[in-house]
Amino acid sequence: MLRTSAVRVLDDNDRAEVLALCDADPVANVFVSSRVRSAGLNAARLGAQMWGYGPRGALTSVCYAGANLVPVAAGPDAVHAYADRARRQGRRCSSIVGPADAVRLLWDLLEPSWGPARAIRAAQPVMVISRPPLVEPDPLVRTVRLEEFGIVAPACVAMFTEEVGVSPDNGDGGALYRARVAELIRIGRSFARIEDGRVVFKAEVGAVTPYACQVQGVWVHPDLRGRGHAVSGMAAVVDLALKHIAPAVTLYVNDFNAPAREAYRRVGFEEVGTFMSVLF
C-alpha cells in the first residue's frame, strides 16, 4: 500500500521537476523529455498520463503511461509502484520500453496479468554520437518534401512491419501512423535518398530536446542492402541533425541486428546503455 500510494498522476505544476529528472540522462530519456517539452503534462494534450513516484518537490522517478509505458529513473520501489497502478488500470499500451533493468522488473511483475507478450526485445543497445560522422555522408540524402509523401510512406510501412512484426495498417487502417509520417516530413525531420521514385535509404528524427534527438525508422530498400547505403545514409542524417536539430544524436537497436550495429559503429556511434522492449 505504501508503494501504491506513492504514485500520483502529475500535472503541469510538476513540469520543472519532470524535466530535471529527464535531463539527468538526456540520451536515455529523450522520448519522454521531448513529449513533455512539446505537450506539457496535461493528459489530454500529452496523450498519456505521467505518473510520479514521490511527493511534489521530491519526485525520484516518473513513468510515461500512454501508447508506450516508459519508466524514467525508476529503481525497484518505483517499478513496483508503477506495476501496482498498471495492473489495476489494465493494459492500455502497445509496448513497454526503457532502461533494461527497470523494464525487466516491470514486466516480471506485470506478465502474470498482462502476458503473454507478442515479442520481447531483451537487449537493445542505446547508441549516441555528438561529433561529426567518421565516414563521408551520402550527398544524396536530404530532407523529404511534402509532395514525396506517397513515395516515402510505403517505405515507412515496410520498415515498421519488418521491425515490429505487425503492419501499422492494422486497427485504424494506418491513418494515425501515416499522419505521423506526414508530420515528420512537414517539420523537416524525415530524411531519404530517393532515386527514380524509389526510396533507397530513409530515416526520421522523432524525439527532439535541446540536448539530444533520436533517430528512428532506419531502412534500406531490400534490393539494395549490403552496398553501404546504411553507413553513408546514417552519416548524412547525423551530419544534418547535428547541424540543425540537436547536439547529440541517439538511437537504440536490437542486439541481434549485427549489421545495423556495425553500420552505426562505423558512422561513429558509441554504445552507452541498454534498453528493453516488450511488444503487445
- Express each pLDDT in 63-86 by its tens digit: 999 999 999 999 999 999 999 999
Nearest to 228 by CA among 92, 164, 151, 136: 136
Q: What does the pLDDT read at residue 4?
A: 46
Return d(Cα 4, Cα 169) in angstroms, integer. 37
Q: What does the pLDDT read at residue 5?
A: 56
For residue 173, pLDDT beyond 90? no
Phi, psi of 84 (to 5 degrees): -60, -50
Mean pLDDT, range 101-126, rounded to an integer: 97
Q: What does the pLDDT read at residue 129?
A: 98
Query: Do residues 35 and 48 lie in contact, with contact meaning Cβ atoms separated by under 8 Å?
Result: yes
For residue 1, pLDDT beyond 90? no
- Express each pLDDT in 53-68 by its tens digit: 998 889 999 999 999 9
Chain centroid to CA 8:
24
- Express each pLDDT in 195-245 by its tens digit: 999 999 999 999 999 999 999 999 999 999 999 999 999 999 999 999 999
Per-residue exposure over 49-76, b if at least 16 CB sit within 10 Å of its own CB, e if not? bbbbbbeeeebbbbbbbbebbbbbbbee
User: pTM of the prediction?
Assistant: 0.94
Q: What percent of the chain has pLDDT over 70?
A: 98
Question: Looking at 9-18, 164-173, 203-212, 236-245, which range is the least confident one?
Answer: 164-173
What does pLDDT average to over the chain?
96
Instruction: Report all structural domains of the chain as residue ranges with CATH numbers, in order of start.
Output: 2-116 (3.40.630.30), 142-274 (3.40.630.30)
Mean pLDDT, range 236-255, rounded to an integer: 98
Mean pLDDT, range 185-191, rounded to an integer: 98
Q: Which residues face 68 on adjacent strands? A: 95
